[in-house]
Amino acid sequence: MKKYLVTLSLVLGSLISPIYAEDSKSLYLSIGGGINSINEIEGDLDGTGGVSFDTDSPFQYSLAIGKEFNYWRLEFNYSASTVSSDSITVTPQGQNPVTANITPDSEADIKSYMLYGYKDFPSDTKFSTYLGAGLGFSTFEIAAANPIVGGANVPIPAIDEQLFTFGLKGGVEYEVAKSTSLFAEVAYLNYAEFSVDTSVVGDAAAAGAGGGAGLGDGGDAAAAAAAAAESDFDSNNSFVVSTGLRFRF
């Protein structure tokens, strides 16, 4: 985490320092917001089977600072959203999937720290378009949960991970004033797969295993989950449609 922050701080400093040497309006700030449509959060609890959390489409906001180089731009972008899940589907090995509600909803806090490069395509009007690609990392946090699915406890470990992330963007920009533009864009983000140590939830799983009747041998499934050393979660994708303002100075 510290390594990521130091690297991004150095890059950000290289973007800001030219303000003292240039009089042109080549630096800009952006603020925006929109809808983040993220895929279901899927993984495998060793000893239990596959799990899948449904997801909503939450609001996502973003802040950015960038530097323009003729028709190219370099930008540091921060974005954040909270994804809620109100149901979970468990698929034990060799059995049919079982779905249950989660009360209260499980929430995943996702924050992304990205460095983007853009190519601008100006026109003879106040409209212009752009394409971009970026790399960075995202923090992914979910509180531990112990939902009952089909009569069996399914301990879900707390998740606090930093995930490699890459993104693609395309957008259109409209000049509303000499130094202010309105933009609308579509972004694609990919979050890397990750693994979580589940041994810390062993005691809770064992406590809930007795008498479990669902999911086939529900008690056995929960006990197996307690002994699991690691849970694997798949990479995930999201599409973000947003709009905002860009201020040049």
Distance CA 138, CA 112 (A): 4
Q: CA of 78: how far to CAs of 25, 50, 95, 166, in Å?
A: 22, 32, 42, 13
Query: Tokens in use for 126?
Result: 């106040």
- How does pLDDT run along the chain (249 residues), one tens digit per residue? 555 554 554 554 554 444 444 445 699 999 999 999 999 999 998 767 899 999 999 999 999 999 999 899 999 999 999 999 999 999 988 889 999 999 889 999 999 999 999 999 999 999 999 999 999 999 999 998 888 888 888 888 899 999 999 999 999 999 999 899 999 999 999 999 999 987 655 444 444 444 444 455 544 544 444 444 688 999 999 999 999 999 999
The residues spanned by each domain of the chain are 2-248
pTM of the predicted model as reported, rounded to 2 decimal places: 0.79
CATH number of 2-248: 2.40.160.20
CB-count exposure of residue 2 (10 Å: 0-12, 13-18, 19+): exposed
